[in-house]
Amino acid sequence: METVRSKDSTPIAYEKSGKGPPLVLVHGTGGDHTRWVPVLPALERHFTVYAVDRRGRGGSGDTPTYAIEREYEDIVAVVDSIREPVNLLGHSYGALCSLEAALLTRNIRRLVLYEPAFDVGIPMYPPRSIERLQTLLDRGDREEMLVAFMRNIVEMPMHQIDLLRSEPAWKGRLAAAHTIPREFADADYVLAPQRFSTMNTPTLLLVGGESPPILRKPAEALARVLHNCRVAEMPGQQHVAMSTAPDLFCRQVISFLTS
């Protein structure tokens, strides 16, 4: 893997593969760059892919204290290290970080955001969720903690969780389980429309047709704020279409980025 230094000097790792215009991939909560394995072959046929390990995971470094703003800067560091306009794709928490990174760099050609999560007036997390997950983590029950997060918070059905367990990325998810509680920071994020008033980056907002309201409503809110965007619904899918419908996911992404 290759690395760049973020603004605070934290090393941010990425795996580079494929050939074509650059596409930076930013995974969501509880994963690492291997999250993209199911869709990587299709994307590599069209793009030079930079699959990032967000801070605290895989080959990337970390700091003793956490702030979501540092993650915005991490993405900018990767994007600005590439010497041509970049396509940027973020999933979930990584989509929220990618959205904010787009305000900090002029090197983004097109932006794909798959269900960024933030507060839209619907309670995002059940009461005492962080405490329950932290208790499991403190006991060393990383797998139980990871499953509890997916089942009770992301509202993922067990058959989809079992599918994720069968993927190579599950090992990385377990290794990154300790980073999950800190990412409840998305509940404190406030979408300020005026901050995006001059942002004209062509943007695709992906949503699953069967995703719960806490994952669909933020995309709807963003669609009212961003000037140059459209929403694409993936029928029958929820929050992990890269695993449950990789062909559908890739068709949406490739069509938008190559049009």
Band of residue 162 on the pLDDT scale cut at 50, 70, 90: very high
Beta carbons within 8 Å of 198's beta carbon, 6+ residues apart? none
Beta bridge partners of 234: 208
Residue 90: which of 180, 153, 136, 23 has the closest Cα?
23
Does residue 127 surpass a pLDDT of 90?
no
Three-state DSSP string of the chain: CEEEECCCCCEEEEEEEECCCEEEEECCCCCCHHHHCCCHHHHHCCCEEEEECCCCCCCCCCCCCCCHHHHHHHHHHHHHCCCCCEEEEEECHHHHHHHHHCCCCCCEEEEEEECCCCCCCCCCCCCCHHHHHHHHHHCCCHHHHHHHHHHHHCCCCHHHHHHHHCCCHHHHHHHCHHHCHHHHHHHHCCCCHHHHCCCCCCEEEEEECCCCHHHHHHHHHHHHHCCCEEEEEECCCCCCHHHHCHHHHHHHHHHHHHC
How far is CA 251 from its chain centroid?
Answer: 18
Beta bridge partners of 13: 3
User: CB-based burial of residue 175 (10 Å sphere; 0-12 exposed, 13-18 middle, 19+ buried)?
Assistant: middle
The CATH-assigned architecture of domain 2-121+186-258 is 3-Layer(aba) Sandwich (3.40)
pTM for this entry:
0.95
Does residue 149 surpass a pLDDT of 90?
yes
Does residue 60 surpass a pLDDT of 90?
yes
Output the average pLDDT for the chain: 95
Give residue-wise pLDDT tens across range 164-220.
999 989 999 999 999 999 999 898 999 999 999 999 999 999 999 999 999 999 999
Mark residue 9 as left, alpha or beta (left: phi above 0; alpha: psi -120 to 50; beta: remaining).
left
**How many other CB atoms sit within 10 Å of the CB of residue 28?**
24
Tokens of 204: 């695709």
Does residue 59 surpass a pLDDT of 90?
yes
Band of residue 126 on the pLDDT scale cut at 50, 70, 90: confident
User: Phi and psi for 140 in degrees, rounded to 5?
Assistant: 85, 10
Domains of the chain, by residue range, sit at: 2-121+186-258
pLDDT score recorded for residue 125: 86
